[in-house]
Amino acid sequence: MHFTGKAYQRGVSKLVVILLVLLIVILLAVGTAAALYLTGVVSPPGGNGDDQQQVAEQDEPQEQQSAPSGPAQYMRLDDAITVNISREGGRNAILQARIELMARDEAVLEGVDRHLPMIRNNLISLFGDQRYEEVTSSDGKNALREQALEEINDILREEGEQPNVEAVFFTHLVTQ
């Protein structure tokens, strides 16, 4: 079998196109693998995963890095929070709460103390948005505690503090 002129050129052209497509596919695969390796998504073959774990720890928020340990420590917010809340029928009611926070790291409570004016302000807004019928039920009180906890940790996170307040406790809660 002997190739002549145009048939030979077509065969060579097809071979060149196939080789170029193959080269592009290989480059894309190598590039993807390199990107996944450099971002820590995959670890090198035969590696023990320590590098990946270190990269993952660096990317985790501060709250994940310092897992709670040690005895519970409590901080009482000195003044009760008192707000007007809506009641069915358009009337107002009063909600008054004394609050204690729990964390296992003194640095977390120090962060709370540093940002206490902002925390009290946001809790006043949060409590003032409640409805009497909701906060008088057990589920409503638990939901309010969870919202308060989330609000406090959000403030700490935004201010560069450790957002590791573990619990909010109502030591006194009155609605009338």
**DSSP per residue, 126-150:** HHHT-BHHHHTSHHHHHHHHHHHHH
Q: What pLDDT does residue 174 have?
A: 94
Polymer length of the chain: 176
CATH of the domain at 84: 3.30.479.30
Tens-digit pLDDT profile for residues 114-124: 999 999 999 99
Q: How far apart are CA 142 and CA 150, in angstroms?
A: 12
Q: Which amino acid is at 97?
A: A
**Alpha helices (H) in 39-137, listed in sequence order:** 50-59, 62-65, 106-114, 116-128, 132-135
Joined together, the tokens standing for residue 168 give 């909010």
Tens-digit pLDDT profile for residues 91-114: 999 999 999 999 999 999 999 999
- The reply to whether 103 and 144 lie within a common domain is yes
- The reply to whether 73 and 158 lie within a common domain is yes
- The reply to whether 115 and 46 lie within a common domain is no
Domain count, the chain: 2
Tens-digit pLDDT profile for residues 25-71: 898 888 887 777 777 766 655 555 454 444 444 444 444 445 567 89
- The reply to whether 96 and 165 lie within a common domain is yes
Joined together, the tokens standing for residue 136 give 């008088």
- The reply to whether 33 and 104 lie within a common domain is no
The b/e string for 94-121 (b: 16+ C-beta within 10 A; e otherwise) is ebebbbebbbbbeebbebbeebeeebee
Range of the domain at 26: 5-59
Q: What pLDDT does residue 52 have?
A: 47
- The reply to whether 54 and 74 lie within a common domain is no
- The reply to whether 114 and 88 lie within a common domain is yes
> What's the whole-number average pLDDT of the chain?
84
- The reply to whether 46 and 78 lie within a common domain is no
- The reply to whether 22 and 81 lie within a common domain is no
Tens-digit pLDDT profile for residues 73-94: 999 998 999 999 999 888 999 9
- The reply to whether 17 and 87 lie within a common domain is no
- The reply to whether 44 and 29 lie within a common domain is yes
Q: How far apart are CA 156 and CA 114, in angstroms?
A: 10
- The reply to whether 102 and 36 lie within a common domain is no
Of the residues 43, 59, 75, the one at which a domain ends:
59
